[in-house]
Structure 1
């Protein structure tokens, strides 16, 4: 009588959000200082994609046996689809099981790293609810939205060198701050440190300088999505953001999840954007039915020290990733492999759907009541975690992993 088949990492429980329908990419090592390799998440394991490709005699070894995702990102959309199809077969076709199994490592036994080399970083302001909330906070006697907001995706360039992977501590930034009643600015650590719940878009295929990327080419250039927390020092930001915009209040740290979810894994989660109340210029007009929907139904959860404080819905974002990309390049700015652009803070219409503490606490005037104390803004030792999932085909869920960061005190001067 045959025995019960041995359970392996390839035998996932039904409904696992990191099943073969997902297969997000990351970079891992078997020790903190070990060799970095491309990994593909399957359940609570990571597949050494390069080693599996070599053992199976795959033509994609040159893209997968690398310490960074950048070569795969640069290979373009056809290669992305081909590699994904091959990976799906490796983890589902019985004939590959014995070859693939030795290359699956428990997630708990590996170290995850920044998954790609970040080229340029742009942060947008694409949520009407978020922009309106901040307008009501800071300009109560004016219209909440500036006149340009519904005509173009507002954004600014950030600092790519301070993009860090989930789990990296965030040092509380220092800088100048000045309250309305203060006679002069003072220097010191930020006392109004905040989060920004965002989704990041990872650019693969580059574009030539002097050319614009149309809405229809979005999926030719964007490889996938990640979760993103663009930490913000609101007191530093408010003093410096006249007249040019965010600088030191934003550039000290931007955290992204360790896993990049390919766009193909999110096909079932695509949704149309909300109805636009202002006519759009042709390069941003996505009403053409031949264009694929470029919004996504992502269900996001924000936790502070393990307590859920918000669940912002991404499906209501006014501007889509395709429109942000089109606007970012309409002046002829080139795309580079590894470019990252963020959606801006995601906020819904309800109080429990706001994506930043400045909104949740109404600029600190109504602190959050948590089991471990009140919070207007972040304190040292606080841990913030963003997690998300999206609806997949046939009732499945597609996990987007999480991005976590812990606030630590600034280093002593001179250290």
Structure 2
């Protein structure tokens, strides 16, 4: 589940936990054999992990020929994770466990332009409602995806074009005041990519995940790790110029941007010009799924336009998988067919020889899954977990000494 094994000391608690996170319980003897650690070291590491609730065990150790040896396994229910993917017009809000299993999910309508003073309390209220429906446990952390560039190290939005009032806002501080847990924030499409990679394609090393909805963006998985870029702006497909895009003005101030040509509102506007009742991205999808030929034609052309931009990305990045998600993808094969048409026509054969272009497997929950995965990877990383367990062990030892000698 963690992004990399680099930096994990072979004998650390995090290394032992990582082994158990594959879901297969093991005896102490099996852990000793797999890690090469001394039995006493394995026992000490397991004692720490069991005391923290992260590992469960049903026995004392190796079999001596009588009863079976005890086995130890990862306990994903030890803590809860709060997750949310915030889009331009709605949010997917969820509570998950440490295995990134979504325990409770709710879709909430909103307008991100209302600003953090409105949106963040809405998320908090929804999380509290969802928490009342699951078994109680300590909250390990909170993960939030926002529809614009985010400085991941601080969790502050960075000049987001569709989010007035959000620029530089300290999102983590506002949420930490409510839940007293670490808060991580990222771009929503980055988290969609992380969610798709975690839930549907864990073995793919290089992939692009596209969200086509009100806006258009992409998340990149490079060598199995989420690639954010120098300023957190990697994957901003929506503001790449579309060939033959016309002089359509984009809300970013430029013209001919992909989002202004192929985003949900642009498609709805084209259909209204044809006399069809389309006022939102959802209306466009409904018309296509109802068999309207004009809506299908418009969405397929949007797929071609998205594919024109993606073709350059495929040639440069050379992924083995492109995943198309977002509300527009719910229109079905029309969008996907247009994307494939342009990519296979424009990209070099070597780059597309083994390339798969598929619809999202995680669907509307991809971003929430990614937000949960982001938190789990952080709180169970060796830097965080080993430091936390070390502090607990030191505190317990000090308390024992105080009890023995402190009177």
Same-fold call, TM > 0.5?
Answer: no
Please identify which structure carries the higher strand content.
Answer: 1
Bigger relative contact order (CA 8 A; separation at least 6): 1
Question: With structure 2 as the length reference, what TM-score do the two structures score?
Answer: 0.26
Question: With structure 1 as the length reference, what TM-score do the two structures score?
Answer: 0.26
Please tell me whether Structure 1 or Structure 2 has the larger radius of gyration of its CA atoms.
Answer: 2
